Amino acid sequence: MPSDSPDFAKRRLLVMILGGLAGVAVALTGIYGMGALVRKSAVPEACRPAAQLAQTLQPLARGEVAALAPAKSPIPLSMIAFRDDAGKEHTLADWKGRTVLLNLWATWCAPCKKEMPALDELQVKLGGPEFEVVAVNIDTRNPEKAKAWLTENGIRALGYYADNSARIFQELKEKGRAFGMPTTILIDKNGCEVATLAGPAEWASPDAVKFIEAALGRSS
């Protein structure tokens, strides 16, 4: 067929259109594929189990712990540092292999003090080789005041931890994980964020206990 015939021209145009569409499809596939890769790579490999756990726990964030926000892109928190009652420095890496409920509190924070008995009770109920409530006081003045308050209010199951520079709060704030007080973060056995709560909660409630037990892989 002559190359300048109408039919040839039509076929040539059709081939060009189909080729163009195929190119667009390949490009879009590449873009979406890269997007999925970026989303996946945004979570450190060590924290991918935490991301899966967060998705599993999502339906259990209700009732007394409805404000708990399961992490969409968990971050590692193992290097968060504070001191114990004897002044020895610790990081969350010391709790590797255990699930931790990290709580930041202060004596000037009324909601913090209100939820402290429930955190103490949660430690009594679930604390052990697999789980610990790690409550870190961030009072920057008179460290003895926090110890005295715990004693006066019968808080005995929780270990005493503190960061009198309040640097721990600033570090979490810089990571977008602390917006006010109290701040509480559930951290998996690999030191990765699972869920975060800004504000107080009734931590000894059936809703909270069920959430933590599910995080520990225990059936209700």
| Domain ranges (residues) in the chain | 1-41, 45-215
pLDDT more than 70, % of the chain: 80
Model confidence at 36, pLDDT cuts 50, 70, 90, reads very low
- What CATH number matches the domain at 45-215, 3.40.30.10, 3.30.390.50, 3.30.390.10, 3.30.360.10? 3.40.30.10
With a cut of 70, say whether residue 24 has pLDDT above it: no
pLDDT, tens digit (0-9, with 9 covering 90-100), for 108-127: 999 999 999 999 999 999 99
DSSP per residue over 136-164, as a string?
Answer: EE---S-HHHHHHHHHHTT--SSPPEE-T
Contacts of 96 (CB under 8 A, 6+ apart): 78, 189, 190, 191
Nearest residue to 51 via CA among 62, 39, 61: 39
Q: What is the pTM of this model?
A: 0.81
With a cut of 90, say whether residue 185 has pLDDT above it: yes
* Residue 42: predicted pLDDT: 79
* Residue 81: predicted pLDDT: 97
Helix (H) or strand (E) holding 99: strand 99-105
Distance between CA 50 and CA 21 in Å, rounded? Answer: 40
pLDDT, tens digit (0-9, with 9 covering 90-100), for 44-61: 899 999 999 999 999 999
Can you read off the two tokens belonging to residue 71?
């992490």
